[in-house]
Structure 1
Amino acid sequence: MSPLSALKISLPLAALLLPLSSTLASPPLVDPPAVPIAYSLEEFRSAVRSGGPGKDGIPAIDNPRFQSAEQADGFLDDEDIVIGIYRHGEARAYPQRILVWHEIVNDEFAGEPVSITYCPLTGTALGFERGDTELGVSGKLVNSNLVMYDRATDSEWPQILGVAIDGPLSGKGLEEFRVFWTTWGQWKARHPDTEVLTDQTGYVRNYRRDPYGSYRPLRGYYHPDSRRLFPVMTDDERYPPKSMVLGVRTADGAIAIDKDALREEEVVDVSLNGSQYTVVHDPDLDTGWVFHNPDDIEIEASNLTFNAEGVSGSGLENLEAVNAFEAMWFAWAAFYPETAVYEGGEAL
């Protein structure tokens, strides 16, 4: 509900709505969080900035509508960016050109409530389990990254961190799941039966125009050498600020994988504080799958198979999958200033 709509609610009705909202359960939690936290919660709170629009000024999509891949071809070109999800046997694509105006979609897969989140300022897309509540856009940023809030407790969660920095759930993490930053042509080739989020969102927006720039070709805010708009807690100039990396973070630490190196080598083995991980390139979606590989099992690219269910192959059967996501370099380094970097050969 937009702030203007909220003003039209009569006082008695608004009072009736408040108890209903307060009975919502908090989202599923990870306690302690399974990601590194480089700063204190107080430091994060001190670094929060207003992004311009107020709370819910960027409205989440709470009642998403979908169409078939064939219908979506009239709206999307093959090179358009989509956020893809395959979960519980269902495939869906969320066009970046729609998400740029809303940043959060509260959806369900096989009855499981989830939130699909996208921050255009950091180029990051992540999926979170939301339980009986919903996530919304707070209007705040930290390290230029979207700060979400949950409607049950009003706790605030930077998207890249996935850990609450303010509110009753401070210090607790959200349950994540894998989403894919890819193109419409690549996604529908992998999932021809995919559903696609439509522009029938209930809001009037120009979904053929991106207010920040363009990914086809890269220009405006998204150009690798363009300047960020907001301050960050740590500035790392090893790469152009908007260069895209594949980010991996676990309780063992954080590492950014150079995507050109991943494409060339196909299988990359990295170490995070003594723990071994293997990253394999998915050539069809142009992304990486990450696995915890404590026994340092050798994985051969020639033995890998990619399909709707993901990746399979000799040696992967008993390895634990680890979440990974694409991010602009400046944002990844700001949240994880001690990040290692893999650009071929050894992690630096």
Structure 2
Amino acid sequence: MTQNSPAVRPALTFRSGGWVIALACVLVLLILAWAFAGIFTGHHPKGDGQSVDTYGFDLSNLQTSGGAFVASGNPKDFLRSLDQPKVLPGHEMLAYNAKLRSKYVVTADRVIGVQINGKSRAYPLSLMNVHEIVNDELAGVPIAITFSPLCDSAIVFDRRVNGQPLQFGVSGLLLDSNLVMYDKQPEVVAQTSMDSQNAKPTPQVGMNADQSQPAPAASASSLWSQMAGKAIAGPALATTLGTTLAEIPNVNVCTWKHWLATHPTTEVILPDPQDEQRMKSFSYSRYLLSPRVEFPIGRKSNIADMPDKMPVIAITAGGETKVVTLREAADRGADAPWNFVVGGVPIIVVSQKDPASVLVGASDATPIQVTPCLWFVWQAFHAPAAPDHVLMPSQSVK
């Protein structure tokens, strides 16, 4: 080769680096196949994110009690429920974390703590953010752990309706910015009259005039409101039975450190392998710090000094409800247990600071309903709270 001859580059072979290009091509093809799988198989996500009529639910008997019923921007099952998760003894969490590149649950992480018949289990909010619903069973009781990140509301239900356990999913719809669930039932096949079999489809709600496909067939599923704890649309409303979900009592949201210290035999649920990346990308911290409520609500706060996104805890016992702010509960119960009475039931609050963590219960072991949430959603789903039912900072519980 002379000095002026052009350099000859060695041919690219599989061993010398061609495998990288081949692997990249395979990955691209797999991604494309995944992206278009729904088109080829006919399985399309239900719900366009804008119109409630595109989600395939029967809304003919919708009952919202004046609430704002809207699409969330995501299709049905964009967040898939976690069903029958694996569990780990809580005391093994340190060893479990040591095997991971990024720790799963640490002391300051918030969890939903559930205790039934002496058995306790924790559901980390970092995992609930990417599922919102967990269909589980604890101490022989089928339960649905539900979390609505937009409202920071955690409620656990007995999944049995008329004696039959239901499985719940995320509908992609919201009522007053709150989670709307659906019970997983077989799809109803739309019936077409003989006269219209050969006719050109008439545009309907959720269908453009130039579309050849009709709107989604109505589902046999009913819609259920998390905060209301009852069915709001669908077949469940066709009967007076089975329209309300029984709430599991004594549910708390607190830090993992607080829950483990008070429930040393607790279990904690584990994520699916594919959840790891989603847990990193799902965060509501900026939303919770903002004063703005992103979706419409039907009833505004009647207490001027209470910000919409003030974290509160609603305590229901003996037919009465008191609402306390998380800040007040954390301050009052930090140095010594805070005791007061709701509906004739003695309530005890034990808390930790930095970060604020509160456990609420009845000192005489009476089952009580504890609902942690943001103020705006409690106000939206309940009659305007009387001032003496809401504990503002530096006030006393009556």
Which residue matches 1:345? Answer: 396
Q: Residue 289 of structure 1 is aligned with which of 329, 337, 361? A: 361
Q: Residue 56 of structure 1 is aligned with which of 72, 77, 81? A: 77
**Equivalent residue letter for 2:296:** P
Give the 5 Å matches for 1:230-309: 230-236=295-301, 237-249=304-316, 252=319, 254-262=321-329, 263-264=331-332, 266-270=338-342, 276-283=344-351, 286-289=358-361
The whole-number CA distance in structure 1 between the counterparts of 2:229 and 2:35 is 26
The whole-number CA distance in structure 2 between the counterparts of 1:115 and 1:50 is 22
Q: Is the 8 A contact 1:114 1:127 kept in 2?
A: yes
- The normalised TM-score by structure 2 is 0.63
Give the 5 Å matches for 1:129-144: 129-131=158-160, 132-144=165-177
The whole-number CA distance in structure 1 between the counterparts of 2:313 and 2:380 is 15
**Alpha-carbon deviations, 1:171-200, whole Å to 9, x = none?**
721011032101011111112222211122
Give the 5 Å matches for 1:192-207: 192-200=264-272, 203=275, 205-207=277-279
Aligned-partner SS, 1:283: strand
Which residue matches 1:166? Answer: 233
The whole-number CA distance in structure 1 between the counterparts of 2:76 and 2:315 is 30
The whole-number CA distance in structure 2 between the counterparts of 1:158 and 1:109 is 22
Once the two structures are TM-superposed, the CA of residue 141 in structure 1 deviates from its matched residue by 0.5
Residues 1:250 and 1:89: Cα distance change in structure 2 (over 3 Å): closer
Aligned-partner SS, 1:206: helix
**Alpha-carbon deviations, 1:180-229, whole Å to 9, x = none?**
1010111111122222111225556432343322xxxxxx1112x52111
**Equivalent residue letter for 2:382:** Y
Task: Confirm or deny that 1:104 pairs with 2:155.
Answer: no
- Identity fraction in percent: 29
The whole-number CA distance in structure 2 between the counterparts of 1:151 and 1:62 is 12
Task: Confirm or deny that 1:321 pairs with 2:367.
Answer: yes
The whole-number CA distance in structure 1 between the counterparts of 2:314 and 2:292 is 21
The whole-number CA distance in structure 2 between the counterparts of 1:155 and 1:281 is 37
Aligned-partner SS, 1:100: helix
The structure with the largest helix share of the pair is 2
Once the two structures are TM-superposed, the CA of residue 95 in structure 1 deviates from its matched residue by 0.9
Residues 1:278 and 1:65: Cα distance change in structure 2 (over 3 Å): same
The whole-number CA distance in structure 2 between the counterparts of 1:88 and 1:9 is 46
Q: How many pairs align?
A: 281
Residues 1:137 and 1:71: Cα distance change in structure 2 (over 3 Å): same
Task: Confirm or deny that 1:222 pairs with 2:288.
Answer: yes
Which residue matches 1:157? Answer: 224
**Alpha-carbon deviations, 1:299-333, whole Å to 9, x = none?**
xxxxxxxxxxxxx4xxx26xx42211111011111
The whole-number CA distance in structure 2 between the counterparts of 1:260 and 1:10 is 50
Aligned-partner SS, 1:185: helix
Residues 1:89 and 1:255: Cα distance change in structure 2 (over 3 Å): closer
Once the two structures are TM-superposed, the CA of residue 156 in structure 1 deviates from its matched residue by 1.2
The structure with the largest strand share of the pair is 1
Q: Residue 115 of structure 2 is aligned with which of 63, 66, 86? A: 86
The whole-number CA distance in structure 2 between the counterparts of 1:251 and 1:169 is 29
Which residue matches 2:180? Answer: 147
Aligned-partner SS, 2:82: coil
Structure 2: state its 5+ residue gaps: 1-33, 44-60, 98-103, 186-219
Which of 1 and 2 has greater Rg? 2
The whole-number CA distance in structure 1 between the counterparts of 2:156 and 2:35 is 26
Aligned-partner SS, 2:130: coil
- The normalised TM-score by structure 1 is 0.71
Q: Residue 382 of structure 2 is aligned with which of 336, 340, 348? A: 336
Q: Is the 8 A contact 2:64 2:175 kept in 1?
A: no
Larger CA deviation: 75-84 vs 189-198:
189-198
Which residue matches 1:117? Answer: 146
**Alpha-carbon deviations, 1:144-195, whole Å to 9, x = none?**
1000111245121111110111112237210110321010111111122222
The whole-number CA distance in structure 1 between the counterparts of 2:92 and 2:340 is 38
